[in-house]
């Protein structure tokens, strides 16, 4: 029996693994006629103290990320996914997705890449492993 997903959450950060996860999520969303929710996390810990204190800088980063996510949204729409949503959350990626994004979005599955593009997570443990361990839903880790 094949599982049908109604709402798919995919995390993107422009890493090669995340791009593979995004392509897989598009394929799955088309197959299941599912809603695709694309999330990216604005990591304030990667900003220096002056950048964090500069609200114009933070708002600029947020706006740039929002524009960037629209490109992902358009790519999914062009590929044939009918319902595509985007969202930005702020914080540490794994924890933010598990504790904030999943409860808000209520997806059936989370699809993520195995290796993050940036941040301390690349050096001190895997965000994907954290999400796979603590997420209350199925997690597909793509590499």
Helix axis angle, 55-78 relative to 16-32, nearest 10°? 50
Distance (Å, whole) CA 82 – CA 137: 23
The two tokens of residue 47 are 């900003």
Distance (Å, whole) CA 110 – CA 27: 14
Backbone angles phi, psi at 13, to 5 degrees: -150, 15
Domain ranges in the chain are: 7-142
Distance (Å, whole) CA 15 – CA 117: 5
Residue whose C-alpha is closest to residue 41's, from 75, 14, 20 = 14
Q: Kindly report the CATH class assigned to 7-142.
A: alpha beta
The pTM score is: 0.86
pLDDT tens string, the chain, 143 residues long: the values are 789 999 999 999 988 999 999 999 999 999 999 999 999 998 765 544 444 444 554 456 778 889 999 999 999 999 999 999 999 998 889 999 999 999 999 999 999 998 866 554 443 348 899 999 999 999 999 98
């Amino acid at each position: 029996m094949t599982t049908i997903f109604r709402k798919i959450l995919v995390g993107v950060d422009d890493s090669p693994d995340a791009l593979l996860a995004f392509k897989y999520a598009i394929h799955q969303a088309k197959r299941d006629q599912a809603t695709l929710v694309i999330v990216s996390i604005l990591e304030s810990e990667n900003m220096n103290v002056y950048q964090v204190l500069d609200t114009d800088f933070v708002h600029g980063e947020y706006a740039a990320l929002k524009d960037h996510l629209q490109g992902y949204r358009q790519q999914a729409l062009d590929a044939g996914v009918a319902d595509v949503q985007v969202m930005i959350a702020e914080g540490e990626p794994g924890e933010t997705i598990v504790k904030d994004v999943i409860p808000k979005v209520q997806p059936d599955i989370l699809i993520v890449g195995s290796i993050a593009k940036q941040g301390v997570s690349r050096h001190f443990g895997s965000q994907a492993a954290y999400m796979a361990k603590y997420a209350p839903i199925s997690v597909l880790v793509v590499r």
